[in-house]
Structure 1
Amino acid sequence: MTNMQQGAFEALQSSECDEKCSLVFQLENQWLAGELTLFSGESHASLDQPGRPTRPVLVEPSQLASRSLGSEEGRIGLIHSLAHIEFNAINLALDAICRFSGMPDPYYSDWLEVAREEAEHFLMLREHLRRYGRDYGDLPAHGGLWRMAMDTAHDPMHRMALVPRLMEARGLDVTPGIIKKLTSIGEMELVASLQRILDDEIGHVEVGNRWYGWLCRQRELNPLATFKELLSTCPVSIRGPFNEAARLEAGFTKEEMQLINELDQAMRRPKSA
């Protein structure tokens, strides 16, 4: 490969998990070594389905079984679900590179770094599955993250607002509770992995926040009002409770935290007859 966009597209197309991760690692190494240009002369923005293995089978979220973390099957289900999220996150970061042209060079460097960390997370979780004698693909999963990618494929501002700042930020809210439960049952190796993932994901959400803010400034839009408008048209509702400390560290403002808390409270109010 001679440019980053081409390399990101090749990794995005790859349907084999280990190959996709390897291509991401190779791409970042070459980019950091100064061996690649940023773009080719052709567009790579038309991929509507990323490369993925034939398994897991994708189902609706309501069809996924819910099990207690106190059982081995429950922990396997949790790890598989998290691995699936991380695999999708690799594709989302690569797609952010391929799909949106005209952004500053650091935007592409940022998302390549995110892709590399997501690949590391996926491989780490896959090793936990293998310790249980399972592998990624053994259980069903859902495709909600990629559906949101397609819903925001027309505009990088929408993508930054509704994937890192809405979908991925949810991980900042729920992961501490999962860590607490796993700690109580002595799953300390898995706890260490999830703490590493949480720390990295704060940075990933910050990347989304930073470029969302940049795009709003370029278009002379109010970030808070624009975010509220985008949330009002989004099929996914924002819901709490929120990890306010992690969200503030990831670049959310106090005004945004007030907004999303108000939206969450409004959703929870009983509808009048």
Structure 2
Amino acid sequence: MAKIPSTLSEAARIALTTANSIEKAELSRAFAKAWQQGDIQSVGTAEIPKEPAREDKPELVPPREVPRRKITPEVEGRIALLHALTHIELHAINLCWDIIVRFAATEMPKGFYDDWVSVADDEARHHLLLCERLDQLGSYYGALPAHAGLWQGAEVTEHNLKARLAVVPMVLEARGIDVTPGMIDKLKLAKDYESADRLQIIYDDEITHVAKGKRWFEYLCHQDNEDPVESWQNIILTLFKGRVKSPFNVDGRNQADFPIDFYGPIADL
């Protein structure tokens, strides 16, 4: 059993500086439970790691060098897909803890921390689910190269909580809402119902994560007397060279209370 730190920020620092992905995920779940049960009560502050600790594997490469993720009855393509998703979920764990420790000095309601601890717990559960599935298919996380650029969204928003919320849940995770249903359908066509079921869990949780990110983004906009739609569009057009990627899963985004008024006018349609 992991020793429970005295503050949430220290829990975040420990999770971020844990290199092994399984251990990081298990610590994340233990720390989330401790916060939810009141064993950790203070947010506090802690040293912010420059970047999350990681093991030597997977090798990080440019996106074009990541193995193709073609979903067919052959296991290799499905393993490539699940490996890529496992890497994304690990990145998501790190982003959750980073937003907590990095912006701990920003005065926010307790509900903000409740939400982000809950999301960290979800992302850890997702990572473990996918690691388990890779093992069942005869592989493991680290067996293939992985995307090297996923931390960029954290780096470009490291000094601005509003921008972090605009980019991570409302662009990166919202993209998961768009693409995951298609993956689920293809896995079912390949008769890999077990993997499809696990992606369905992730998809359902992604909707709640986008909703939480948007809610706190709007909270900060209202604190600053800004229009949320205009503010979000300005942030995205400033930070991204291109526009927001389409096509969109409008129904899924609507379930997350993220209407097309936000992203439609700056989409690459």
Q: TM-score, normalised by structure 2?
A: 0.93
User: Where in structure 2 are there 5+ consecutive unaligned residues?
Assistant: none
Aligned residues: 261
- Establish whether residue 75 from structure 1 lines up as the match of residue 81 from structure 2: no
> Runs of at least 4 residues of structure 1 off by over 4 A?
none
Q: 1:168 aligns with which of 167, 173, 176?
A: 173
> What is the match of residue 89 of structure 2?
86
Contact 2:32/2:120 (<8 A) preserved: no
- Establish whether residue 99 from structure 1 lines up as the match of residue 102 from structure 2: yes
Deviation at 1:234, TM superposition (A): 2.1
Kindly provide the amino acid, as one letter, of the partner of residue 220 in structure 1.
Answer: N
Q: Matched residues in 2 for 1:144 and 1:250: separation?
A: 26
User: Where in structure 1 are there 5+ consecutive unaligned residues?
Assistant: 266-273
> What is the match of residue 270 of structure 1?
none
Contact 1:48/1:150 (<8 A) preserved: no
> What is the match of residue 22 of structure 2?
18
Q: Matched residues in 1 for 2:218 and 2:249: separation?
A: 21
Give SS of 2:42's match.
coil
Q: Matched residues in 1 for 2:49 and 2:86: separation?
A: 23
Q: Deviations 1:93-145 (Å, cap 9, x if unpaired)? A: 11111111222111111111100110100010011111121110110111333
Q: Deviations 1:190-223 (Å, cap 9, x if unpaired)? A: 1110111100110111111111111111111111
Q: 1:215 aligns with which of 211, 217, 220?
A: 220
Q: Matched residues in 2 for 1:69 and 1:139: separation?
A: 16
Q: Map 1:119-268; keep pairs closer than 5 Å.
A: 119-235=124-240, 237-260=243-266, 263-265=267-269
> What is the match of residue 269 of structure 1?
none
Q: 1:117 aligns with which of 95, 103, 122?
A: 122
Deviation at 1:148, TM superposition (A): 0.8
Contact 1:244/1:257 (<8 A) preserved: no
Q: Matched residues in 2 for 1:122 and 1:147: separation?
A: 20
Residues 157-166 or 220-229, more deviating: 220-229
